[in-house]
Structure formats: C-alpha cells, structure tokens
Homo-oligomer: A and B are copies of this chain.
C-alpha cells in the first residue's frame, strides 16, 4: 500500500478524452497545483447540431472540474432541465442528442463567440475563467477534425456511431477527417515540450487519444519524450469500464487487454499504469520496453482516484 506522499509540484500535460480524463484531472488537481496542469483535449467528437457548435469532451472536463457535472446522468450539467428538448421533440426535430437547457447556454455562448471570430481556445478559456476552472484546458487544434466510421451499417459520424447506434455496430475503419491538415495550437506544442511529465488519460485510445496524436507535431513530441510519458490503461481484465474501447481494440486488430494498449502506445510511452486485476500482464508489457506501475485504476471511489493520481505523479 502506498503511503500518501507530500504534495508534489509538477508541470504536467494530460492528453484527454471525456469522462475518464475528467476524473483523472480532478484527482490530479488534488495532488498538485491545478494551475500547473494542462489538459490537451480531443475535438474529433465535436459536432454542429441545430447550428450550434458542441464540444463534448471539452464540456465534460470543464463541467467536472467546475464541480457542475451531473453525476446521476454521467454527462451534462447538474440541476439540468429539458424544456427546449421537449419542445423540439414535439416539433419533430432532431432530439436524439439530448441537450439540457443549462447545457444549451454553453453551446449558444460558444457558437456566438465563434461567429464573432473567437477561436475554440478563446471560448474554452473564457468559459473556464467564468467557472473558476484552474486546470488549463486546450483544444488540441482550432481546425476542424472529425472522427468518422465505416461500419457494417455504412458510414457514420461520431455521434451517429456513439449516440444513435450506442456504439453497438461493427466498425471496419476509423478516419479522423481533417486531422493531418489540422494545426496544433502553439500553446499545445509548448505545453507538450515544456512540461515535466506527459500523461495519457485512461480515455479510449482509438477514438479519444488517437485523434490528438494524429494532429501533426503531437506524436513526434511523445516519441522524443517517451521516457516522460505515462499512460493509464483504460482496459481492466479484458474490458473497458465505459464505452467501446474493448470492442474497438478487437475490431481494429489489437489484443483486448492492457498488453494491447501497450502495443497501441508502443514507441510513445515510457510507463503504463495498469489495474491490480491485470498485474499478471506486467512481464508481457515490460518485454515491450515499457515500465509498468500497478494500482487500482477504477476511479469511481475518490480514494482510489487519489491513489491513481499519486502513482501517475510519482
């Protein structure tokens, strides 16, 4: 059992998807000065719906760090109401992607600011300042990137795959449209270069982390700094806690285990943090030249989340 270390001051940068990253960032904020934490956030799930620009991962993280996240739902804002969606459904409108009244205000704010010429980075900074979020959130790029899926039922956008089909169809190919031409913002590249540690959150490697890595410049910094890169495996005992990471690993030809995650990140990470349930896989992972740390990676219990944060920072 780990003894609680004294607070450490680390400048860290975390490659982040949505819920898993939000929990890790929240736990890390308890272990080090949150102003020394930068999250580089996936934008390939972002969508325009009803004319509104919606950034699910940025919103999940900022809502969580602001303490405004809806724990019952597992997404969105607490104290939410649904008047607009009810009326929209009554009109026969596209109500499959549920947007609460409070949440809509975020999207209206963002859409108007983008229309006025602000960037996604600007809007994120403004919203975080308003909510008192101290961790610095950076969309990986202000250019458009979108995850698209070739599946057994045809071509799907991210939200069609994730929400409409509830990721319950076989995927044949994943494309990050626009990623290769997208430019990482200068703050993103600087945060990756200048931090003392880069952490890959236990987000979905294939659809949350990969579209960050695909933005030119990001992958090569990780390759160069791999000894400073620590990933947390999102796979425990052959399954993802949440979402389709396990299924997608299999469909894309990777082993569905922390070994598969180590293979996926090979060349990019120096250390993989895996769950106690997978301790027996340690030697297989080390054989790939990757250090292994074993701890409880399930963050539902705050004490576990804190312990994971300590391991990641140690």
Contacts and interface: CB of A to CB of B under 8 A. Distances in A.
A91 B102 CA distance: 10
A101 B127 contact: no
The contact size tier of chain A is 20 to 34
Interface in A98-129: 101-102, 104-109, 111-112, 114-115, 126-127
B115 A48 contact: yes
A50 B108 contact: yes
A29 to B, nearest CB: 22
B92 A105 contact: no
Given A101-B87, A130-B91, A112 B51 contact: yes
A49 interface: yes
A83 B108 contact: no
A94 interface: yes
Contacts of A85: 105
A206 to B, nearest CB: 28
A93 interface: yes
A114 B130 CA distance: 32
Contacts of A115: 48, 50-51
A169 B86 CA distance: 40
13 contacts: A48-B51, A48-B115, A50-B111, A50-B112, A50-B115, A51-B112, A52-B52, A52-B108, A84-B101, A84-B105, A86-B105, A87-B101, A88-B108
